[in-house]
Structure 1
Amino acid sequence: MNIKSLGFTKTIAVTTSCILLFGGCAAILEQNAGKIGGTAVGAGVGGVIGKQVGGDTGLAIGALIGGGIGYLIGNEIDKRRENLAKIAKEENIEVVSQNIVENNNQIVSKESNQKIDNKNVIGDSFTVFSNEEQFAINSSSLNKKAEDIFAKISSEYKGSDKKILIIGHTDDSGSSLYNQKLSEDRAKNVGDIFVLNGVKKSNIYYLGAGENNPIANNNLTEGANKNRRVEIVELKDENDIIKYASKTSNPEFFKKVEPKVVTTTKTKTEISKEKTTTSKFTKTIETENIGKIADNDSQGAIEKEKDKIKIVNSSKDIFDFNGRKVIDNNFALKTNFGESIQDSSFSIITKAQANSMTNVYQNCLADKPRAKADVKSLETNKVIYKTIDYKKGLNSVPFVTNLESTLIAINPVAVLENSSSATNFPKASFYKDYKGEKDVKPTLELMTSINTYQGTQGLIYRVFFEESNTQMKCMDIVFDEKNVNNSKGVLYYTKNNQILEKEFEIARIK
């Protein structure tokens, strides 16, 4: 695949260097595996390791990840990996070591057996998989053994003059906002251990990625276990820290959410309460504050903005888009999306196993709004900022479509170039029987939450409607990577207590 042909610029890619299954290949790294030399040899060694660990299945996994072992990124990191491998073996823990490579645009996980250009390697990542022996369920506190393990790990970084980012990851069970906060607290606690063991506090950053970057299928118990982890990243400066932390999600491994149709009649009091309830997931950025990411600490500071958006009227079965009944949760716009930029090469669970449990890409009915946060400095506990450009054609502008004489407007749509993340949650306005009138009031106006997923052909811009007493369930839009005015979408809505879908074309208002 020619990445440049897709119009991408400035990428940080991650390639698996070696997986240590409970110390399974620690002995290899103790003999300085980084100097084996060449990805072909590395792949062969990986196959041998995998066979020893897990039979034929282990052989396949080992060959996939082993290719990265042969790549030497420098004596300093090479020596550290040897020492970390010894710690993994001694403490019987599961870890993964990776190279961080700068390429073109989005942050991707490249196949580990691909040849890597030496000049593109800009850093190192080391992941420790969590378990109940490290963090208790629903707790950010490490037990004494876990503290000792991370103390040993942090001692390997105390001589570094580079920036270190600690990232907490969870599975996607339960509340997304809760997962984000829990992972942030865990990352911060690990960062504090690094400071106690001689790493400069001013060089440490932390991020609660929550459920947003799964590396295994959350629909499987073993996959969910792999997604609970702490990642330690070393990069040369703060700008690289921000770029790495902004990686787009891979929708492949998220747990399927069963869509529900509410058929009960609500009282006026219940409806009134729902209309005044603000979402925990909403954040808004002033449009004049172009290119600047706002502090969304717990996303609570944005609630005032939500109060400005009012529901014009309930839409219980007043719209008819002549849609067809939804028969499954398959993602209808897969061709427009292509493949996820965050591919599944860094995965303990094989793709075959994932496909046996769930469809690879689901529509918005089987998804949920996912809370995201920004990187914080451990020294100040404040979000660090960087001005970032918008994606072409998605620079805080309105998009409209006309469905069966109903005009639908999404405004404003703003997506960042580097991370492909939405900088605001727009209004969705519905104008029934629209005939081109000026200054007409919308029949229905809804608050939204947005998920984004970057693909090779387009960007999924997933719109969730937050008013429950409405026909509107959610909307999938895929913005074409080359021309946003060639974009398509699917609206999911209810009528007569059935979920229906209607495809449409959408374009920006110039």
Structure 2
Amino acid sequence: MRKRTVSVAVASLILFNGCAANNAFMDNAGKIGGTALGAGIGAVIGKELGGDVGMLVGAGIGAGIGYLIGNEIDTRRENLAKLAKEENVEIVSQNIVQNNNQVVAKNVKDETNKGNIIGDSFTVFSNEQQFGLNSSNLNPKAEQLFNKIASEYKNSDKKILIIGHTDDSGSSSYNQKLSEERAKNVGNIFSINGVKKSNIYYLGAGENNPIANNNTVDGANKNRRVEIVELKDESDILNYASRTSNPEFFRKIEPKIIVEKIEKPKNTKVAKVNQDEKPKKVSNDKKSLLTTNETQPLNIEQKEEIKTVSNTKDIFDFNGKKVVDNSFALKTNFGDSLQNSNFSLITKAQANNSTKVYQNCLADKPRVKADVKSLETNKVIYKTIDYKKGLNNVPFITNIENTLIAINPVAVLENSSSATNFPKASFYKDYKGEKDAKATLELTTSVNTYQGTEGLIYRVFFEEQNTQMKCMDIVFDEKNVNSSKGVLYYTKNNQILEKQFEIARIK
């Protein structure tokens, strides 16, 4: 069966900044006719972003602009450039191209085949709070801005997808819901301004597609944004919306620490250690578009050794080793994220502040994903797609120190690498091959997935709190799922331990 997917290429990237944009560029944004002129413009942008190195990269971007954009998109970019200058906002333009496999954000220096371009994307940033705190309502100035942007699409006969993005502070489900309400409100503005309601779709992506490091204030601000996508049909809309996440940019979450009750001397207070406390509020000048809880991301450094006690009996012993940090043990098996955001949607300084390190499941959390909805019906748009090879609703098993662990069923879609269901995890202590063995422990789960160049992270979180099991990282090998590896994190003797294992599906 032929599989068809899309990818995002940033062969053409324009940053329209109301404060720093070059006037000559603004005046000529709609008249780019050749590669040479495009290269010159790109150099101007690159110089603004990153000095001489940025100028060279910018020249490469500009050279692509010269032959990739058409008159319709060219005119829109010109008008939005002027609007960005007037309204003091940033609008980033990208080409959407169809490629072989996953949805990826390519480096600006990567070449793109002109014939693969199938659409256009504009992302709107702002230094101001455009929505009310924890509200989906636009303030009057922001509403005026989006009315002007929407008017640029009134003659379009293509499909328009409005995507709301947030940082990853606070509750993932809350972030998703609020971002969806905000995206829908922007979609309504497009409808009012003449875009056919049947052509408008909206998606609350929440925290799932970060383009900058959420562990910094500037990075979190960049992740709060509205994206406007134009594609030719509904199928392309669904494919684009199903992009996998880049785990590199998620906020590091420290494991919840449960401290043993200790007899303490009189008049001595023992502070309760809880890493799940909310961060401090951010001042108004740091708030931005599609902000959710408006909380300040913290660059957390673990000052204490990880120590956790289980409030259950330690009935399992996997002979694991003590966890000393939150590094991702299976990086080689994963490779690099297909959503590796090396392009300059963020400034050079922000890029240098990136974590550049993938964390294990102890430093992650379950992240809620949503589906695309039609503005006309407010119903989810579904599409039948293929499963990844070997991950089509099948059970996987591993045996660790005579304990059989079954994860069933595992189901992951091909074009999005997302899990279609959450499996059950069953643990069989002292398993001796019995066909009718009863599980010693059964746990419900939730799953995050992240696609890499070598494998897929299938991250299992155990929903029950009163258990030794904390979470599990599995990387399914892209070439052969039966060569896959994993790491189990669990508690024993008042510590968090880890144990690597090999896992395969039941044939």
TM-score exceeds 0.5: yes
Measured after TM superposition, the shift of residue 26 of structure 1 is 6.5
Of 400, 404, 425, which residue of structure 2 is paired with 1:403?
400
Residue 11 (1) aligns with residue 19 (2): no
Query: What is the one-letter code of the residue matched to 1:381?
Result: N
Measured after TM superposition, the shift of residue 327 of structure 1 is 1.2
Q: Which position in structure 2 is the counterpart of 1:191? A: 187
Residue 413 (1) aligns with residue 375 (2): no
For the structure 1 residues 218 and 60, does the alpha-carbon distance in structure 2 shift closer, same or farther, using more than 3 Å as the test? farther
- 1:281-300 matches, within 5 Å, as none
Residue 325 (1) aligns with residue 319 (2): no
Of 227, 231, 235, which residue of structure 2 is paired with 1:231?
227
- Whole-angstrom distance in 1 between the partners of 2:199 and 2:354: 42
Is 1:67–1:112's contact at 8 Å kept on the other side of the alignment? Answer: no
Is 2:43–2:57's contact at 8 Å kept on the other side of the alignment? Answer: yes
Residue 501 (1) aligns with residue 479 (2): no
Q: Which position in structure 2 is the counterpart of 1:109? A: 105
Measured after TM superposition, the shift of residue 350 of structure 1 is 6.0
Q: Which position in structure 1 is the counterpart of 2:481? A: 484
Aligned residues: 456
Of 154, 157, 163, which residue of structure 1 is paired with 2:159?
163
For the structure 1 residues 66 and 220, does the alpha-carbon distance in structure 2 shift closer, same or farther, using more than 3 Å as the test? farther
Measured after TM superposition, the shift of residue 345 of structure 1 is 2.4
Q: Which position in structure 2 is the counterpart of 1:460? A: 457
Q: Which position in structure 2 is the counterpart of 1:154? A: 150
- Whole-angstrom distance in 2 between the partners of 1:339 and 1:462: 16
Could you list the runs of 5+ residues in structure 2 that have no partner in the other structure? 262-310
Measured after TM superposition, the shift of residue 440 of structure 1 is 1.4
Is 2:162–2:202's contact at 8 Å kept on the other side of the alignment? Answer: yes
- 1:11-160 matches, within 5 Å, as 11-15=6-10, 16-22=12-18, 24-25=20-21, 27=23, 28-32=25-29, 35-38=32-35, 42-52=38-48, 55=51, 59=55, 62=58, 66=62, 68-160=64-156
Q: Give the fraction of aligned pairs with identical amino acids, expressed as a percent.
A: 75
Is 1:489–1:506's contact at 8 Å kept on the other side of the alignment? Answer: yes
1:45-90 CA-to-partner distances (Å, cap 9, x unmatched) read 3232233466568647745754543343211111111111111011
For the structure 1 residues 489 and 241, does the alpha-carbon distance in structure 2 shift closer, same or farther, using more than 3 Å as the test? same
Q: Which position in structure 2 is the counterpart of 1:382? A: 379
- 1:365-376 matches, within 5 Å, as 365-376=362-373
Q: Which position in structure 2 is the counterpart of 1:222? A: 218
- Whole-angstrom distance in 1 between the partners of 2:22 and 2:408: 53
1:379-416 CA-to-partner distances (Å, cap 9, x unmatched) read 00000010011000000000000000000000000000
Measured after TM superposition, the shift of residue 19 of structure 1 is 1.1
CA RMSD of aligned residues (A): 2.3
- Compute the TM-score of the two structures, normalised by the length of structure 2: 0.85
Measured after TM superposition, the shift of residue 215 of structure 1 is 0.4
Measured after TM superposition, the shift of residue 262 of structure 1 is 2.4
More helix by share: 1
Give the SS at the match of 1:109: coil
Query: What is the one-letter code of the residue matched to 1:319?
Result: F
Measured after TM superposition, the shift of residue 162 of structure 1 is 0.3
For the structure 1 residues 8 and 199, does the alpha-carbon distance in structure 2 shift closer, same or farther, using more than 3 Å as the test? closer
For the structure 1 residues 179 and 378, does the alpha-carbon distance in structure 2 shift closer, same or farther, using more than 3 Å as the test? same
For the structure 1 residues 205 and 257, does the alpha-carbon distance in structure 2 shift closer, same or farther, using more than 3 Å as the test? same
Q: Which deviates further from its counterpart, 404-413 or 122-131?
A: 122-131
Query: What is the one-letter code of the residue matched to 1:14?
Result: A
Give the SS at the match of 1:501: strand
- Whole-angstrom distance in 1 between the partners of 2:481 and 2:49: 48
Residue 262 (1) aligns with residue 258 (2): yes
Measured after TM superposition, the shift of residue 359 of structure 1 is 4.8
Of 470, 481, 498, which residue of structure 1 is paired with 2:467?
470
1:272-292 CA-to-partner distances (Å, cap 9, x unmatched) read xxxxxxxxxxxxxxxxxxxxx
Measured after TM superposition, the shift of residue 497 of structure 1 is 1.6
For the structure 1 residues 205 and 8, does the alpha-carbon distance in structure 2 shift closer, same or farther, using more than 3 Å as the test? closer
Is 2:249–2:354's contact at 8 Å kept on the other side of the alignment? Answer: no
Measured after TM superposition, the shift of residue 126 of structure 1 is 0.4
Q: Which position in structure 2 is the counterpart of 1:268? A: none
